[in-house]
Amino acid sequence: MRIEIIAAKAAVIAILAVVLVSAVRSCRSLQVDRKRLLQNQSVLLHNGQVEIGQTRDGRSRASVPAVTLRPRELVNGADALPRVARSMGVRPSRVRSAATIVAVTSASVAAPSSSASGVAGDTVSRLSPPLSWSDPWITVSASIRRDSVSVTFQSSDTLDIVVHRIPRRFLFFRFGCKGVRMDVSSRNPHTRLVYARYYQLAD
């Protein structure tokens, strides 16, 4: 009888120990998740904390901290990246990381007009009103003067970058990870992507 009592107490102690360990792990997991959510809120409340500047050699540079999401948060969120991933043929559940980059290109060019010397002043004045053309992505304006032509060009583009895993296939089953790919898409219909490279560092 006494042995049974001791065994019962040992079983209760073991169960309590397991429950305690599980509770500690759950508490730590909740603390880590809470810290992650607070960091995400801080980043989003400060408009992504984007730092715009230049590199040491004068090129344009943007720096932003990461927003850490769980796969279901990415799928259920209001961001356009899940829709973009689907348009690329990528399931959002296979996305490992994603990014959105917005760039604006602008240039102003002035060149002497070779034909202005043989044109009368009143004719040139009729050509003086500025010419302009624009769509949601490109704006072009030009003005013709007596001795020169000036053109201003501005283009905006949004690049969506999705890094995702390629699952292994066996018959109709997909499992594991055969490789990792990066897909890039431009929202500007005038843009044609010509090159991309992705480095993944081994552990």
Q: Is the model's pLDDT at 95 over the cut of 70?
A: yes
pTM, entire model: 0.69
Which are the contacts of 122, defined by CB distance < 8 A and separation ≥ 6?
none
Q: Is 59 exposed, middle or buried (0-12, 13-18, 19+ CB in 10 A)?
A: exposed
Three-state SS for 184? strand
Question: What's the average model confidence in pLDDT over 69-83?
Answer: 76
Percent share of the chain, pLDDT over 90: 24
Asked whether the beta carbons of 150 and 170 are under 8 A apart, the reply is no
Q: Which residues contact 83 (CB under 8 A, 6 or more apart)?
A: none
- pLDDT tens-digit series, residues 114-138: 654 555 555 544 456 778 899 999 9
- 169 or 47, greater pLDDT: 169
> What are the DSSP calls for 146-166, one per residue?
SSEEEEEEEEEEEEEEEEEEE
C-alpha distance from residue 101 to each of 75, 114, 155, 202 (Å) = 20, 41, 14, 25
* Overall average pLDDT of the 132-150 stretch: 88
Q: What is the pLDDT of the chain when averaged over all its residues?
A: 80
DSSP H helical ranges for the chain? 2-45, 71-76, 81-87, 121-127
Binned at pLDDT 50, 70 and 90, residue 44 comes out as low
Q: What is the pLDDT of residues 160-193, one digit of tens each?
A: 999 998 888 877 777 777 888 999 999 999 999 9
* Residue 82 in this model has a pLDDT that exceeds 90: no
Helix (H) or strand (E) holding 96: strand 95-112
Phi, then psi, of 135 in degrees rounded to 5: -140, -175
At 36, the pLDDT band (50, 70, 90 cuts) reads low
Residue range 50-75: average pLDDT? 84
- pLDDT confidence of residue 126: 46
Contact call for residues 181 and 164 (beta carbons, < 8 A): yes
